[in-house]
Every structure is written in structure tokens, then in C-alpha cells.
Amino acid sequence: MITVRISDDSLAIACGADEVAAAFEAAGCTVERVSSWGMHWLEPLADIAGQGFGPLAPEDVPAVLAGTSDKGIGCIEDHPFLARQQRFTFARAGKTRPLDMGDYIAAGGWAGLRAAERLSPAEIIARVTASGLRGRGGAGFPTGIKWQTVANAFGNRKYVVCNADEGDSGTFADRMVMEGDPFMLVEGLAIAGLAIGAQKAFVYIRSEYPHAIAKMHAAIAASADLVAPFEIEVRVGAGAYVCGEETALLNSIEGKRGEVRAKPPLPAIEGLFGQPTAVNNVLTLAAVPFILAQGAEAYAAVGFGRSRGTMPIQLAGNVRHGGLFEAGFGLTLGELVEAIGGGTASGRPIRAVQVGGPLGAYHPPSDFHVPIDYESFAAADGLIGHAGLTVFDDSVDMGDMARFAMAFCAAESCGKCTPCRIGSTRGVELIDRLRAAPTAGDAALLEDLCETMRFGSLCALGGFTPYPVLSALKHWPQHFGLIPETTP
Amino acid sequence: MDLVAAIVAAHAGREGPLLPILHDVQAAQGHVSEEAIRTIAHGLNLSRAEVHGVVSFYHDFRTQPDPRPVVKLCRAEACQARGVEALVAALPPQNQVRIETVYCLGLCSAGPAALAAGRPHARLDAAKLAALVEAAT
Amino acid sequence: MSSHTPEKLAYMANQIARNLAEQADPAAAVASHIRTFWNPAMIAALARAGATGLEPAAEQALRSLAPDAG
Amino acid sequence: MGYEPQADLGTPAAIGAATVTLAIDGRSITVPPGTSVMRAAALAGGSIPRLCATDSLEAFGSCRLCLVEIDGMRGTPASCTTPVAEGMAVHTQTPRLQTLRRGVMELYISDHPLDCLTCSANGDCELQEQAAAVGLRDVRYGFDGASHLGQPVDGSNPYFDFDPSKCIACSRCVRACDEVQGTLALTIQGRGFASKVSAGLASDDFLGSECVSCGACVQACPTATLQEKSVKEIGKPERSVVTTCAYCGVGCTFRAEMRGEQLVRMVPWKDGKANHGHSCVKGRFAWGYAQHQDRVLSPMIRESIDQPWREVSWEEALAHTAAELKRIAARYGRMALGGITSSRCTNEETFLVQKLVRAGFHNNNVDTCARVCHSPTGYGLKTTFGTSAGTQDFDSVEQADVILVIGANPTDGHPVFASRMKRRLRQGAKLIVIDPRRIDLVRSPHNAATHHLPLRPGTNVAVLTAMAHVIVTEGLADQAFIRERCDADEYAHWADFVSETRHSPEFLAPVTGVDPAELRAAARLYATGGNGAIYYGLGVTEHSQGSSTVMAIANLAMATGNIGRPGVGVNPLRGQNNVQGACDMGSFPHELSGYRHVSDAGVRALFEGEWGVAIDPEPGLRIPNMLDAATDGTFKAIYIQGEDILQSDPDTRHVAAGLAAMECVIVHDLFLNETANYAHVFLPGSTFLEKNGTFTNAERRIQLVRKVMEPLNGYEDWQVTQELARAMGLDWNYAHPREIMDEIARLTPTFAGVSHARLEAEGSLQWPVNDAAPHGTPVMHIDGFVRGKGKFVVTEYVPTDERTGPRFPLLLTTGRILSQYNVGAQTRRTANVVWHEEDRLEIHPADAENRGISSGDWVKLASRSGETTLRALVTDRVAPGVVYTTFHHPETQANVVTTDYSDWATNCPEYKVTAVQVAPSNGPSAWQQDYDALSHRARRITREPAE
């Protein structure tokens, strides 16, 4: 009897994994549904005794079983895409069945929590602080310091809130954690609860991720006894990108409009239901079990400058080898999209890479030398955000993308602050006007508007929308009609 | 007790129960009517203005019924980079399926992507999208 | 109903007496209350009508307020 | 005073001592911790542009005009949401900030109508002001883009319009409704550019929404989006006068804003100590009666009530009246005269009326409408604590942990205070409601009573004694407080009494109808939940045991140590604006001002010395006694200032009979009220807008009433009383009410330090104001009770004699509604009728079903006193067996049904318990028809040219 391992990650399913699995079963194989390795261009990827085949369609199954398929990629773990990675958070990716407790334990699961249970809250926080872990949601705030603030705050009740509202186009690492290794997130939440003295955690998941929601529900139910009396509850968003902003997310859990709150007070002091709350991103919490199990030093040993540990980088958009690439900070943008990503999927030259989601800047190839770390990208007028890299080939009109950035902001603005509420709509209109009849005055007005939004907005939605707009304007003025289009 | 009141009662005692209730009401009735808003407001001891404010904030909630099947099509940057706008432009006109724009399904390395009847679809081209819409009706 | 009649005054006195029944010295309490709040014409009218139908404490109070009462 | 908006410091004051020093644009200032940078800047004399911030609301941080730069901080934080820190260096005016602010303003104006010149807010618009302040000169976006222009105006509210095209989405209205009013009737609908203020659901308009028209949103709006219709109609005010509202006992201070002699609007005054800038639909908007065509402006007389009225000159009216009074005194004796003071009039006016009776009529036949509302409060609190007044100021509620509301409906009766109470409840204070009806406080958005004890009407004493039973027998009494502050023997006697098994909640449950477990839990909460504060209203006093209930409340407060500090106390919520004052001024027949008995020779001597006449040492007649005496033929003339006893007093037919038996009924009022149907002399009154004087609110706060416009009838009420006194031969020569107050202060120890000059200087004073308390007394009984030791009074539960039976199986209780006031004489003459155009009978669905009654049906309401008809409202707010109505409309004649039972101690009528039957009906009762005919006849006026 042949055992075939095929992912049940929603990307694999979207690419036909269920049909391929059914074909293997029909052919008499035992099929195990595991997490995804993250080599998305190969999905659906079948793993038969460590040998990989992909991307498969049901009609490829007979050839695979007959040993005649040309879709073989050899030993999966030796694949260069994987071999170059350093997997801490995604160590189990592709190897375990997401909701199989036995698989999780066998692969080292719960070791972090067991270790944390032997420590005092202060010791847990000290280890997280020592690891250099910074929030993976984009702002890069040191996690240990945030936890310490919550631990010190006075409150009748404290909360851990997992921000699983990752809605940035070009990112999917959170989704892969929740779908592929949900117990790891549960473990991270439980450790956070111990550290800050919280009784309850909420995992706020965007409604666009139904599979992640289902897996998290199941994993929480299966591990309830292991983390008790700590309680974890899934909350489902309702179609509001802005709820990825932590204070809007807290309002949403409370059952309010997802409007951004002014800070201070910080959520760490006055967060969910007015109580001290640690709001952490999925990847941040997912990194915690490793730190507790393997030690802060093991985590801190990897990285670049003040950006310690690994970063799950997501290669997306028009890229040949799209998927998840976890590595220490410090690889350059060019290495990632060209050497690792293999250039565009279309085979055309890369025109731009948007780094950090819809609020990230568009980088031309001239930025390819910039290493992936928080500080270097800030210096290059960008941000790494969630470390999603969206590749565009030379068919893209960057004027369209600048307009889209404003339109996206207008569609998702909570409407509380004026620069974002009115500015994003005016931005769309202004870019249209500029492109229809370019004038220096309107170009200057667009820059002024971006300045108003950047420094005037209440949160990053309005505040960072100028990144894609201004980067497009700066690097591709011809797409706004401001200089003549030249053919290279 | 009517259905909405029963849903409210089922969530009573939860911390911040409004969004879960709205999801359930929408799932059960296809939309959140003004009548439902009144019932929810009464049940949770909120003003109906507050509930209306919340319902109208989130794009997932509808106040008017629309029984058509839905295809959620991602039109965010990563899918744009892979040509979703051309697919949209090429879609034959139809009114049987509600094609909703969403921004990101997390399938960004394999776009264009869509979600129909709870199942994700990736690597769409014009034919696949048309087939998806056809299948949804 | 004609109301400033002795019956009404007796009713009022009895109501006071019933409400002050648990005081240490009910009769004294009733007398003091009536003395404080009633116009003398009312006391006189009640006294003229006599003590018929009065609660014991009210009757005693009336005696102390209007010693000549019938 | 010219027209000048009140200063706004942007964010609310932080509590505490000023200890944080920072520099704002180089100027050093020291403020309390928690103060915003914005407020600190304003205190330092600077001004940071802002639109979403106002100091009545918590900082919100949305408009982004108030951005500043702070040394050592990244970016440009909003000054409204950034708290000060020691040593902070703030820069509020830098080129970068100016550019940013102009950028934000450019966005605002790109979505705003360009109609400043024709806008009703022109010159009083924060957007306009701030656009100028940031130096906006050009809107480079043009005006072709998306906008909110052209949306329809919602004019459904009778008093203000909502014009969404002028909205800047600052949420100040929404936040005002949430934070200040606590109704949460408004929201932002949608999001992003589509964000829009919405009252209720998408299909609601303002009138159809949960909005209670308090005006807080209008007040908060920085543009003309929410604006008074009166401003649109009349124009921008030119001058303003700060005065005190003449509606309920809260005593809100308003700025009356005038254009010429026309009142444009009433704007709540932020420095008002009772209302702190808040208002309700009555005080804020329902002032139209002051200039209503029904006002009677000429004096009128007639020989008998079947004649039409004859307009006469003031001279003739006063001479005629004085002659009649003298004639009656001569013929029937001095005891045949009496007077009633008004709780709506000023202290000074009230004082003069009682002085006229005592010094001019030579008897003590003076009473006041407090007789029928809060006389038991005076008796009960004087007996137990030594002072006939509530113990706290309103601010005290902010420190209460457990609030016990009994027999009061603050959201309708005392809405501005209710908003503060609700805010405290939203902060986490617990609430106990003892009321037969499920009043709004029991459950309304964001607050809910921890315990609601829906008792059977008339069983207050039993419920409170049962609570005392629980507290004493479970050892929850505050022994240290009792030992130190109260009379030990009396406590022991009381404790034994309440501990008797017959007072246990379980034993009394069949009587009270209250679940014993719930009652025990409520008692425990009150006794152990921290600061416990009791608020009560007429549902306590208007019973045959009203005085006992007040004392039972006082007993509970003393037993639990809830007296003598902020956050606790016994707080009567007074009905009318000057009930407290009318009582203070010596309006009761047994006592002189300051609650001193007429039998006290020393006190009399003081007055006799001042007034030069002998004071009768015997108590006079109370209102019901006067009416009784009238029917008996011994009482013949009455001067009634500002009260409509025919409509407001119980057992209407008895009141009518008493009035009809008199030879000279003098009504001094704004309108030909119901009592005037039986009057022989009508003296036109003046409104609170037309006079100077003072009102004293429920927290003993004396506040100035300032003349806003000249009296339409030519005289302030105190002048009319003075002229009547002079016509009777008294030598009165007050030139201004301040001289009357000086006399009050000379004669009344608790008012010794009160004068108009001090009130002008200090805004308000809470009595006692004297050498012992030179700045007044916000909280009483701090170091000891006024009477010395607190007195526990045994309160035997004596059931009312009003009993249900086969003929009258239901219990009727009465109350009021938010939009209407008392007998409705004022509010019925305003647009407030849109909210309550008639009184309805609330009846439980089960009782309605049994009788075949649906909402809207006409029903006959009958008691042993009489019957009337009105329309039904079927609702489970009332318990089975209980029906409820308001008494704001004379057509309803609700008091035809109420009985002559009254409080044993004070004769305060038992409005709250009447055994009734309800049956379907086709139309008005015989009494209503007869009365309607009489009323029509009695109001005829023959107009002859005066003089």
C-alpha cells in the first residue's frame, strides 16, 4: 500500500489538491492530508516516501504510480527552494497533518509550553526579550517589551489577542500557519497567556480565510484541556481590511464599528474591553514556541542587525517560484525575487516589486540590492511589513497601481480621520485628472496630499497609502504622463 | 421565539457577541434586516443606531436580501499582477451570480483567485472563471 | 362627600394613630403630631364631635389636646 | 453681556492637582496629570486648531487639525489625545504643521457647500473659523469630485434640522448622544467617504429614532449640520443672558440668546453646576409657551363664575381684589382667607406670597404645591436627619457605587440628572430599581438594573422594612457609623422592630409581590456594594405612607453608613423647579422660612420685628383643609399664584366643589388654567424669562433667574403680589428682588450668607450658607446630623385604605413623561406635543386581553371617586394588575379618578394608588362632557377698552 501525502492547505485545494487526492485514493493509495511545503508553483504536490511530484492533475496519477511521470522533483527536502531556507516557524510545514495531535507532539509540539510552565511569567518574558523577537505584523515592535507592559499594567482581566486579520495582498504566511500548524499558534497563545497573566485569548481571523477559521476552531477544541484554564476563542471578521489595525480589531471584537482608536492609551494598558491586552500577529505568536523550546539564543543567532530570527517571506504575484520562504533577515530583494523566485511567471522582465502589501512601496530593480530588514527598507523609503513581495512584470502600468492604492484606501478606510476618509477619494480623482491632463500643479498637489495623509492620518492605512503612490510617482513618472514614455 | 431572537439568546453571555450574532443571522436569513437589527439591539441592550452602525460598517453584512449565489473574486495587487483585471473585462455579462470583489484570499502566489461556495480556486484564466460563474448559477 | 366633617378629621386622627402605633408612647406621639400640624379649628371640630370611633391613642391624644372634649 | 460663544478648552478637565510642567511654544504651564496637550495649550493662552474636539466630550483624534510637534517624539501627534508629560516641549505652530493643517482643511472644504454667506451658521461656525485660522486660501482639488452635497435635509424634529450636506463627520453629535446624553440614538452609518451620521436605522429620521431631543448633538455640532430651526428663522443671536430653567427640579442653567426682544435659543451653560452644559427637550427647546397667543396679558375680574371675564386695568383689578379680601375677612373672619405659593415662581415671589398671608391676611393659611408632591420629604428628613432637604449635590452621583432608585423615573422626570446617573452606571456602578413599572432605567441601551423590584403600588414601606430586615439580621449594618452618629436606643428599638419575622422578605412577599430572593440580594448589594446612594421621587411621597417611606429610606441610609460623604445620601428628586425653594421660604402653614415652627415665639419675634405685625402662633390650614373648610362654608377666599390645583390636585370633583364654594378665587398665572374656571379675579403672570429672582433646585442650590425680556403683562410676579399687598394697605416697597432676598437672609439662618451679589459672583450657593458654611454646603451631615444624633424611626407598614376589590380590581399609578411637564400648561403649548399628544393608559397585555382592549382603544377608567376616558396603550412595562397614566392633558382628567386618601403625616395626596376598573368605552365620560361645557363657558372674555 502506497501512502501519498498531499496538502490540504487552501492554496493546494484551490489548485486541485482534493481532486488529485481522490484520484490517488481511487487508485488504492492511502492519502494523508498534510500541510503545504510552501512551494506553491508545485501544488498540488504529492509526497510519496519523500519524493515529490507536482504540480499534479488527477490525470497525472497513473503515471506517478507507474513511475513514468515527468512531474517528479526528486527528494522534496533537498529541493533548492527549501534547502536555502532556515525554517523555525515552518519547521513542520509539509510534514505533519495539521490537526493530528500525535503528529504535532512527535514533531516537538508543546515543548515550548511545557518549558514555559516551568518558568515564572517574568522568566518567559525575559526569554522572549532576549530572543530579539519583533512583532511580525509590520511595525516590528519588540514583543518582550510589549508583554512586559501588559504584565505590569493594572487590570481585573487581561487578554491576548491574535491578529489573524492579515489582509495584505501578497501575504499568506499567517494563513499557512493557521491551516498547516494550528497547534503551534495555540501553543504560542498559551505561552503568551502565561507570560502576561491573561485568562483568555481571541484569535481574530478575517472572513476571507474560511479554511483557516475551520482549522483553528478544530485545533482549539482539540487542545482545550492542554491549555486550560486558559481559554481561546475564534472571532471572525466581516470584511474590513482596517480591522488588521490593532485598535480597530479590538473594537471589532467588542462588537463595534471597526474604527481606529486614537493612541494613547496603548492596548497594552487599555485594550480589549478596556483591559490590558497583548495584541500579537500570528507569526509573532508562532515564533514563541520555538523560542521557549529551543532557547532565545537559538533564535537570536539568526538574523541581521536589529532584526533577529527568521522572517517568513512570501513570494507572490507574477513570480515563477511563488511560495513561502523562511530565512534569517538579510537576503536582498533581488536575491529573493530573481534567484529564489526565478523572476516573473510570465517570463517578462520585472518592472516592480511591491514589498509589504498594499501599503508598501513599489521598488524598481534598482532597489534589488536592499536587504530585507526593518531598518534597511525604511531607509529605502519602504517597509517590509508582513514581508510579502508582489512581483509585477513590465506590462504593469504604475499609474494604475498608484490609483489602485488610493482606491483601495478609499474602499477600506474606516472613515474616522479626515486625511484618509476624504484624502483617499480625492487621491483617486486627482490621479485620474493628472493622467488625463498632466500638470506640474497636480503632481505637486498629489505630493501634498500624500504628505497630508502620511503625517495626518490616524493609522497606517491612510498613513502608508502614500508609499505605493509616491514610489510609483517617483520611479515611473512616465506612467502619469509627467515625462514622455521611453522604450528601453 | 423567532429565529433572530434565538440566535441572540444562543450567544448571550459571550464577550462582545454582536459580530458572531450578525454572522449567524446573515447565514440564516441571507441578510440582516432592519427588523433583525431591532431584535438584536433589544436582546443585547444596545441602541438600534449602534447595531445599524456596525452592520453598515462591515462589507460582509447586507441589509437587503440577494438570493443569488456569490463568487468572491480577488482583485488585489497580487492577483492584478497575474492579470485578474483582464479576466474581469472579458467576463460575459450576466446577472445570475453576484460577483463580489474581495481584497485577498491569501492565494497570492497562484492568482487570479476566487472563492465560490466555500471552495477556493486559483490560477484562473478567462475560461476557468467563466466556468466558475456558470457552475455557481 | 362633604369633607371637613368630623368623620374626616377622625379618619385623619386614626390614620396618624395607626402609623405611630409602634412608637414608644403612641398617644404622646399622636398628640404632638396633631399639635404641630393641625389648625386649632380642626382640633376643636374634632373635639366637638367627641371621641366616638377614635383609636385609643387618638382618643387619648385628643383628651390631652382638648381637655374639655366630650 | 454681548454675544460670545463660551470658551472651549478642547478636552475635558483632568482631575487632580496641577503637578506636570511642560512648555508650549516656549511658555511654561503646570497642569494636572492626564491633561491633554490641547487643553494645556488653551490654558496657557494659546489656541490649537481643532474640529472634532470640544471640552464636553472625550478626545477622539479624528479631525487631525490639532497635530503638534513634540521634542523627542516621532511624527506629529494629535494634541487632543496626547497627554502632557513632565518636561515636554510642544510646538504648536511650525511651518510643517501649518502645511499639514492647511492640507487637512483643504480636504474638508473640498466636500462642503460654498454657501457661507447664506448659511445660518455664518459667523458661528467652527469650520469657517478654523479654515480662516489655518489660512486656507485655495481648494486645489476643485469641486467636481465626489461630495455629500445635495442630500435632503431631515427636518422631522420640530426644533432642529439635520442637513447632512454640511456634515464634516467629526462624530461630535454621535459622541454627545453617547457620552453626554447616554441615549446612543445616533451612529455613523457606512464607512470611509460614505460615512454619514444616522439617527437610528437607515429608514429612521430624527423624529422616528430613539432621539429624545435633548439638544446635546445640536450643541456639539461645529457646523450648521444640526441647527435649531429658530436660528434659521430668526437669525443669529445678538446678546445673551444666563438664567435658570423653570422646568424641573434639576435647575439647569441656560444662556438665553436673544435677538432684540426675541428669544432665539436656549443654550445650556457649561458653568451651570447642576447641568454642566447639558439640557433636555423641555429646557432646551420648549420655551415657545412664553410668547404663546394663549398668554393672558390683561387683568380680568367677574362677579361670579357663570359670567364672562371682563378685562380691567391693573389698578381696578388690584383695588377690586383688595376690597373683596377685606370684605370677606370682615364678614367671615380672618381665617376665611388663604394663599397658595408656587413652586414655579422664584424664592422671592414665594416669600412675598406667604408674607402676604401671614402679615396681610393675619393667619397662617398658606400652603404650596409641594403639599401634593414632596411634603413627606420635608417631614421625613427633618424628623430623621434634622433638615428638610436632600443630603447631596448632583455631582455626588459620580462617586456612587450602588444607586438605588425608588419611586422615581429620572429619565423622564429629571432627564439631565438621569444622564449623569446613566454615565455613572456605564462606568460600572450598580443599580437597584424599586418601582411597579419597568422604567427606562431598568433596561435601556448600555445600562440595566442589577435588581428591579416591581412592587405592588402602596407597599414601599413593606419593601424597605424588609430590606432593613435583611441588613440587620444578616449583620450588614454599619455598627461603627450607628454607634458614633445615631441615637443608640432608637437604633436598638428600630433594629428589634425590623428584625421581627413579620418583616422578612419572605413573610412580606404576598403583600409586596416582590421575589424575596431578589429583595435580599438587593439589600445586600446596597449594604455592601460601596457607596450607596438613594434617589427617590413622588413614587415615594405620594402615598398614604409617604412620610413613613421617606423615614424608612433615611433609616436604611443610616443603618448602612451611607450618609455624610460624597457618593451616598438620600436624594429627593424634586418635581418642579423651585419645590425646594418654596418649602424653604416658609410656604407651609406650620412653619416660617427655614423650617421653623410658628409656635416658636423667638422666631416669630424676629419676623414680627421685621414686618411690624403679629404672627399667628397656630398652624394654618393646608390645601386639602382649605378646600374642606370651603365646602363647610368657613373658608371663602384664596390667592393662588402659579398653580393649577384643579388639574393637579387629587379628586378633582372635590377640588371643584371647594373652589365653587368660595367667594373670591384669585388666580395669578400665565394662562386661563383649569382652576381659573372657578376664579373671580385673574392676574396675569410673568414667565421666568421676564423676571429676576432665584430658584433653589433639588440639591439645595440657589441660582439666579435673570430677566431676559420685559414682562409682556407689564409686571414681574413679585411686583403683582407687592401691589396687591399695597392695595390692602401694607407698606411694601421692594425695588428689586435682591431686596427681598436680603430680607430672607436676615430672617433665615440657613440663608444668612445668601445675596444676589454673592450669587452673581459665585454662580450658585447650596444652603446652608452662613458663618458655619460660608461657601455653602454641597454635602450635608458630614460630621454630624443637623439634629445631633441621627434618629431611627420605626416605620410600621400600615396599608392604604384604598383597596382593590371586585368593583375596582386594578391599581392605577400615575407619573410623567419626558416631553411634557406637570399639568402641561407650558409644554402643551409647544411642539413637544409631537411626542405626547395625549395621556394614555398603560395596561398589561393580560389585563387588556381580559377586557378586550387593544392599544389605541378608548377605555373608561373608573374609581370610587369618578371616571374618565382615555386611550389605552398595551405594554408589559406595567405588571399585571397595575395600570398607569400621565396627567399632562386636562382633557384626560386623570385626577377625577384619584382619591382623597393622603399621607398620614402631611396629607400629601395618594396619587400613586387608586383602585380602578378599566373597560372599553365609546367616548368621554359624563364628567368630561360637563366639564368641557363648563370650561368653555368659564373662559369667555368680554373685551372692553381698558380705561
CATH of domain A398-480: 1.20.1440.230
* Residue span of the structural domain in which C47 resides: 6-65
Statement: residue D354 has pLDDT above 70: yes
Q: How confident is the model at residue C2 (pLDDT cuts 50, 70, 90)?
A: very low
User: Is the distance from CB of A331 to CB of A372 less than 8 angstroms?
Assistant: yes
Asked if C5 lies within 8 A of D497 by C-beta distance, the reply is no
Q: Out of A343-347, D551-555, D886-890, which region has the weakest mean confidence (pLDDT)?
A: D886-890
User: Using 50, 70 and 90 to split pLDDT, how confident is the model at D3?
Assistant: low
Kindly provide the ipTM of the predicted complex, given to two decimals: 0.94
CA-based nearest residue to D456, from D188, D803, D940: D803
The residue whose grid cell reads 447631596 is: D392
What is the rounded average pLDDT of the residues D3-11?
81
CB D939 within 8 A of CB D672: yes
Cα separation, D448 vs D440, whole angstroms: 9
Task: Report the pLDDT value the prediction gives residue C68, as an integer from 0 to 100.
Answer: 67
Residue B119 has a pLDDT of: 95
Mean pLDDT score across all residues of chain C: 87
Q: What is the mean pLDDT of chain A?
A: 95
Q: In this predicted model, what pLDDT tens digit does every residue of A393-452 receive, in sequence order?
A: 999 999 999 999 999 999 999 999 999 999 999 999 999 999 999 999 999 999 999 999
Least confident among A393-407, D508-522, D894-908: D894-908
Residue D5's pLDDT band (boundaries 50, 70, 90)? low
Question: Is some CB atom of chain D closer than 8 A to the CB atom of B49?
Answer: yes
Domain count, chain C: 1
Task: Flag whether residue A424 sits within 8 Å of chain B, measured between CB atoms.
Answer: no
pLDDT, mean of residues D436-452:
95
Q: Domain D20-133 classified CATH 1.10.10.10? A: no
- Which chain D residue lies closest to B41 (C-alpha atoms)? D445
CB of D339 closer than 8 Å to CB of D640: yes
Which chains have 3 or more CB–CB distances shorter than 8 Å to chain A?
A: B, D
Report d(CA D766, CA D775) in Å as an integer: 8
Say if residue D352's pLDDT is above 50: yes
The CATH H-level (homologous superfamily) assignment of domain D375-572 is Dimethylsulfoxide Reductase, domain 2 (3.40.228.10)
**Which residue type, as a one-letter code, is found at position D656?**
A
Query: How far away is chain B from the Cα of D173, in angstroms, using its nearest Cα?
Result: 13
Percent of chain A predicted with pLDDT > 90: 90
Residue C17 belongs to a domain: yes
Judged by a CB distance cut-off of 8 A, whether residue B118 touches chain A is yes
Shortest Cα–Cα distance, B46 to chain D (Å): 4
Window 203-232 of D, Cβ < 8 Å to B: 203-204, 209-210
CB contact under 8 A, B121 and A210: no
Is it the case that residue D2 has pLDDT exceeding 60?
no
Task: Assess whether pLDDT exceeds 50 at residue C1.
Answer: no
Query: Which chains reach chain D with 3 or more Cβ–Cβ distances below 8 angstroms?
Result: A, B, C
Indicate the domain borders of chain B.
3-57, 70-136
> Would you report the helix, strand and coil content of chain D in percent, each value rounded to 5?
35, 20, 45
pLDDT in tens, D837-858: 889 999 999 999 999 999 999 9
CB D44 within 8 A of CB D95: no
Taking residues D289-300, what's their average pLDDT?
94
Q: CB–CB of A458 and D192 under 8 A?
A: no
Which superfamily does CATH assign the domain made up of B70-136 to?
Glutaredoxin (3.40.30.10)
- Per-residue model confidence as pLDDT tens digits over B120-131: 999 999 999 999
In a domain, C1, yes or no: no
Q: In this structure, which topology does domain D810-937 adopt according to CATH?
A: Barwin-like endoglucanases (2.40.40)
**Per-residue pLDDT, C53:** 87
Measured over all CA atoms, what is the biggest interatomic distance in chain A, rounded to whole angstroms?
72
Distance from the A428 Cα atom to the nearest Cα atom in chain D, whole angstroms: 10
Neighbours of D783 (CB within 10 A): 6
Give residue-wise pLDDT tens across range A175-227.
999 999 999 999 999 999 999 999 999 999 999 999 999 999 999 999 999 99
Give the dihedral sign, CA A57/A58/A64/A70: negative
Strands (E), D8-146: 20-24, 27-31, 69-70, 89-91
| Distance separating alpha carbons of residues D340 and D208, to the nearest angstrom | 41
A44: left (phi over 0), alpha (psi -120 to 50) or beta: beta
pLDDT of residue C70: 46
Average pLDDT rounded to a whole number, residues D19-41: 97
Q: How confident is the model at residue A169 (pLDDT cuts 50, 70, 90)?
A: very high
pLDDT tens digit string along A245-256? 999 999 999 999
Residues of B in contact with A388 (CB under 8 A): 78, 108
Please state which of the four CATH numbers 3.10.20.600, 3.30.2130.10, 3.20.20.70, 1.25.40.850 is assigned to the domain occupying A303-393: 3.10.20.600
Indicate contact of C with B: 3+ CB pairs under 8 A: no
What is the domain class of A3-83 according to CATH?
Answer: alpha beta
Instruction: Check A456 against D191: CB less than 8 A apart.
Output: no
- Cα separation, D202 vs D851, whole angstroms: 38
* Residue D928 pLDDT greater than 90, yes or no: no
**Which residues of chain D have a CB within 8 Å of the CB of A459?**
none
* Phi, psi angles (nearest 5°) of residue A373: -160, 160
How many other CB atoms are found less than 10 A from the CB of residue D18? 14
- Cβ neighbours of A154 (radius 10 Å): 8
Got the DSSP string for D723-742?
Answer: HHHHHTT-----SSHHHHHH
Q: Which three cell numbers stand for residue A455?
A: 503625517
**D and B interact (at least 3 Cβ pairs within 8 A):** yes
Whether the pLDDT of residue C4 is over 60: the answer is no
Q: pLDDT tens-digit profile of D585-640?
A: 999 999 999 999 999 999 999 999 999 999 999 999 999 999 999 999 999 999 99
CB contacts of D63 in chain A (<8 Å) are 417-418
Give the nearest partner residue to B52 out of D183, D198, D448, using CB atoms.
D198
Give yes or no for B4 touching A (CB within 8 A).
no
Domain boundaries, chain D: 20-133, 312-369+578-735+745-751, 375-572, 810-937
Sign of the Cα pseudo-torsion (A196, A197, A203, A204, in order): negative
Residue C51: pLDDT above 80?
A: no
Residue range(s) in chain A whose domain bears CATH number 3.40.50.11540 = 110-300
**Nearest-Cα residue of chain C relative to residue D544:** C15
The model's confidence at residue C3, banded by pLDDT at 50, 70 and 90, is: very low
Residues near A421 by beta carbon (within 8 Å), at least 6 away in sequence: A413, A415, D169, D192, D193, D195
CB D176 within 8 A of CB D60: no
State CA A156 to chain mean position distance.
Answer: 32
Give me the mean pLDDT over the A112-135 stretch: 96
Give the N- to C-terminal CA distance of chain D in Å, as an integer. Answer: 38
Report CB contact under 8 Å: A172, B107: yes
Strands (E), D435-496: 443-444, 447-448, 451-453
Question: From the CA of A415, how many Å to the nearest CA of chain D?
Answer: 4
Q: What is the pLDDT of residue D830?
A: 93
Task: Tell me the pLDDT tens digit for each residue of D636-692.
Answer: 999 999 999 998 888 888 899 999 999 999 999 999 999 999 999 999 999 999 999
Q: What is the pLDDT of residue A487?
A: 56
Write the pLDDT tens digit of every residue in A258-293.
999 999 999 999 999 999 999 999 999 999 999 999
Task: State the residue for C-alpha cell 436660528.
Answer: D231
Structure confidence at residue D891 as a pLDDT band (50, 70, 90): confident
pLDDT at residue D946, rounded to an integer: 45
Dist CA A72 CA D141 (whole Å): 58
pLDDT tens for each residue of B9-34: 999 889 999 999 999 999 999 999 99
B45 closest CB neighbour out of D189, D198, D443: D443
Position D130, amino acid: Q
- The domain D312-369+578-735+745-751 having CATH identifier 3.40.47.10: the answer here is no
- Return the pLDDT at A136: 85
Q: Give yes or no for B41 touching D (CB within 8 A).
A: yes
Mean pLDDT of D152-160: 97
> Which positions in chain D touch C29 (Cβ < 8 Å)?
none
pLDDT for res A137? 79
For residue C69, is pLDDT > 80?
A: no
Q: What per-residue confidence (pLDDT) applies to D4?
A: 64
Measured CA distances, D294 to D397, D660, D788, D829 (Å)? 40, 24, 51, 8
Residue A372 has pLDDT above 70, yes or no: yes
Chains A and C touch (3+ CB pairs under 8 A): no
What are the chain D neighbours of C5 within 8 Å (beta carbons)?
632
- Which pLDDT value is given to residue D395? 96
Strands B70-74 and B114-116: antiparallel
D268: left (phi over 0), alpha (psi -120 to 50) or beta: beta
Looking at 1.20.1300.10, 3.40.640.10, 3.40.190.10, 3.40.50.11540, the CATH number of the domain A110-300 comes to 3.40.50.11540
